[in-house]
Amino acid sequence: ETGDVDAAFAGAAEIVEETFETGYQEQAYIEPQGMIAEWEDGIMTLRGTLQCPYYVQTSIKHAFELDDAHVRIIQTATGGGFGGKEEYPSVVGCQVAAAAYVTGKPVKYIFKRQEDMEVTTKRHPSRSVYRTALDADGNILAMDIDCMYDGGAYPGLSSVVLQRGLICATSVYTIPAVRAHGSINLTNTVPNGAFRGFGAPQTTFAMEQHMVHLAKKTGQDILDFRLRYVAKKGDHTATGGRHAYDVIMPQLVERVLAKSDYHNKVREFQNQTGRCRRGIGFAMFSHGCGFTGSAERDLLKSIAHLVKHKDNRVEVRVANSDIGQGIKTTLCKIAAETLGIPYEQVFCNNPDTFVVPDSGPTVASRSLMIVGRLIQRAAERMKAEWEDGVEKLYEEHFVEEPATIPWDMDKFCGDAYPVYSWGVYALETEVDTVTAKTELIHLWGAYDVGTCADETIMLGQMMGGLTQGLAYGSIEEMVTVDGKIKQNAFNSYNIPTAQDVCDFDLEFIDNPYEWGPYGGKGAGELPLNGGAPVFVQSVENALGVEINKIPCTVETIMEYL
């Protein structure tokens, strides 16, 4: 809580309350869950498709009362994760390890797609209530927010997911006074867990929609109204922290407005009467980079190794898994650039806990920003001491950036993240008022992810995350019947194909972060956060309605028609 919320509501000229709901989302990675376990000579070895080898190692150690020297986890080539291979591989790992231990034989367990979709963790469904106090001129005095996330049958990571959801409850905006409360409801359904965005997409959707609806209710321009509250450097955050670095949202907005011709299209799309009607949505969003609060310092304590071999090849040794996002390429580029050697001279193998140190999990948009910085520092030392034909290992430990307002976990206040990444989307959509089908016409986007280490890789991340976000807001519907997932295959659960998206016109605006490698910040989760609200706003603009629930499917749109 920040500011005097009760006093603001007591003196309000008007109070507006809205409820927003979001549904499940399936990670839909290419490769299902799978692990192989071997118990030999007192050592338990697991190979599998996973994001966090040391998470699995910790689980096996606990289950079998073994130490580090007797548990070996090796990440195999992994066909996607999106958070779905953060905690769940520990479950699968314990199962195959127990079977290998009992039988004395290697055991392989590969899920079929139906089983994977029925029993693994999903994005949390949510219900958020936003109450806003306004003065007589329609200015925001305070917000009182209550968020409920469906945790499923077991808590898992739900409380941590909810934490980020609450921190993001005011999204990119600075609100004078805020109270945010959250709860996890345990239900007799599949447990829910990590998914790209980690709690932020739910409240980002709710806050963006609420701000648009507030502008409409008070007769104000929906973009001008929102821009008045966009955060800037020095502003307080929802947790009482401070935005310590430049927030270049005005530059991002300016670029997207110009490229999309937003204002002219808003005027053009007014008072349409034909069968097919167009609308344009505009969404602003952000994502806090790294683990919440002091977790990097107190819990993870990341370590990275850079090894110079006798043949002068350089090896990056980290626990971070490449799951399609290109982290191995990026880390090797950072090392090569710092050392001033060809990229081909640097290599990085998949993590093996008998070889690599614990540099932390592949989650929270942290791998580039946190681990990349460790590799850059190690490379700087290696370059200064370089000797041909000599093998030497360089070790770097995480060093925390001084916080403007230190994090207090007991009070849940302070700087929740050291820095944020930012983004803006505009989307033009056409709605058929007879069939309720939608067609995406064109999308424009601009991002601040610090400095891009590799623009090709970064564009891949933006396009993939954006596509997931658009589908989260439109077609990916999943429900439970008697506690069981109904959509358990891709013939009943819709995921987007190339035919479901449009041309993306995306760009990056540099805003270097001094504590990131070459100015880089976290990026992987950011693009998903804005997908759902920009789609729903484009439909609202086309039809002149207000929509508070996603996915906004054809059936949903038909109800409004």
Residue 98 domain-assigned (yes or no): yes
Residue 240 domain-assigned (yes or no): no
Note whether 126 and 7 are same-domain residues. yes
Q: What is the pLDDT of residue 403?
A: 74
Q: In angstroms, rounded to a whole number, what is the distance separating the alpha carbons of residues 14 and 281? A: 27
- Average pLDDT of the residues in 345-364: 98
Alpha-carbon Rg for the chain, nearest whole angstrom, is 24
* pLDDT single digits (tens) 482-491: 999 999 999 9
Inter-axis angle of helices 327-339 and 372-384, to 10 degrees? 30
From 119, 134, 162, give the residue that closes a domain: 119
Note whether 198 and 302 are same-domain residues. no
Q: Answer yes or no: pTM beyond 0.75.
A: yes
- Tally of residues, the chain: 561
Averaged pLDDT score across all residues of the chain: 97
Note whether 355 and 219 are same-domain residues. no
Tokens at residue 252, please?
């991002």
Question: Burial, 248: exposed, middle or buried (Cβ in 10 Å; 0-12, 13-18, 19+)?
Answer: middle
In degrees and rounded to multiples of 5, residue 432 shows phi and psi of -85, 115
Q: What is the pLDDT of residue 249?
A: 98
Residue 338 domain-assigned (yes or no): yes
Question: Burial, 454: exposed, middle or buried (Cβ in 10 Å; 0-12, 13-18, 19+)?
Answer: middle
Q: In angstroms, rounded to a whole number, what is the distance separating the alpha carbons of residues 237 and 231? A: 8
Provide CB contacts within 8 A for 417, sequence distance 6+.
167, 288, 289, 290, 292
Note whether 328 and 189 are same-domain residues. no
- Average pLDDT of the residues in 250-263: 98
In degrees and rounded to multiples of 5, residue 124 shows phi and psi of -70, 125
- Average pLDDT of the residues in 6-34: 98
* pLDDT single digits (tens) 312-333: 999 999 999 999 999 999 999 9
Pair 63, 33: CB distance under 8 Å: no
Residue 182 domain-assigned (yes or no): yes
Strand (E) or helix (H) holding 205: helix 200-217
Q: What is the pLDDT of residue 421?
A: 98
Note whether 1 and 141 are same-domain residues. yes
Note whether 159 and 253 are same-domain residues. no
Residue 406 domain-assigned (yes or no): no
Strand (E) or helix (H) holding 120: none
Note whether 206 and 73 are same-domain residues. no
Pair 515, 404: CB distance under 8 Å: no
What 8-state DSSP symbol labels residue 33? P
Any idea what the CATH number is for the domain that residue 325 is in?
3.30.365.10
- Average pLDDT of the residues in 344-358: 98
Pair 373, 306: CB distance under 8 Å: no
Q: What is the pLDDT of residue 44?
A: 98
Q: In angstroms, rounded to a whole number, what is the distance separating the alpha carbons of residues 436 and 549? A: 16
Residue 441 domain-assigned (yes or no): yes
Q: What is the pLDDT of residue 36?
A: 98
From 68, 89, 119, give the residue that closes a domain: 119
- Average pLDDT of the residues in 83-94: 98
Residue 402 domain-assigned (yes or no): no
Partnered with residue 430 across adjacent β-strands are 278, 439
Residue 468's pLDDT band (cuts 50, 70, 90): very high
Note whether 336 and 436 are same-domain residues. no
Q: What is the pLDDT of residue 404?
A: 79
Note whether 143 and 266 are same-domain residues. no
- Average pLDDT of the residues in 275-304: 96
Q: What is the pLDDT of residue 181?
A: 97
Note whether 387 and 438 are same-domain residues. no
Residue 358 has pLDDT above 80, yes or no: yes
Q: In 368-478, where does DSSP find H-type helix?
A: 372-384, 455-474
Residue 239 domain-assigned (yes or no): no
Residue 292's pLDDT band (cuts 50, 70, 90): very high
Note whether 516 and 551 are same-domain residues. yes
Residue 402 has pLDDT above 90, yes or no: no
Note whether 446 and 484 are same-domain residues. yes
From 205, 231, 257, give the residue that closes a domain: 231
Number of domains, the chain = 4
Residue 186's pLDDT band (cuts 50, 70, 90): very high
* pLDDT single digits (tens) 515-536: 999 999 999 999 999 999 999 9
Q: In angstroms, rounded to a whole number, what is the distance separating the alpha carbons of residues 553 and 561? A: 13
Residue 434 has pLDDT above 80, yes or no: yes
For CA atoms 337, 338, 342, 343, give the dihedral sign.
Answer: negative
- Tell me which residue range forms the domain holding 318: 296-397
Residue 257's pLDDT band (cuts 50, 70, 90): very high
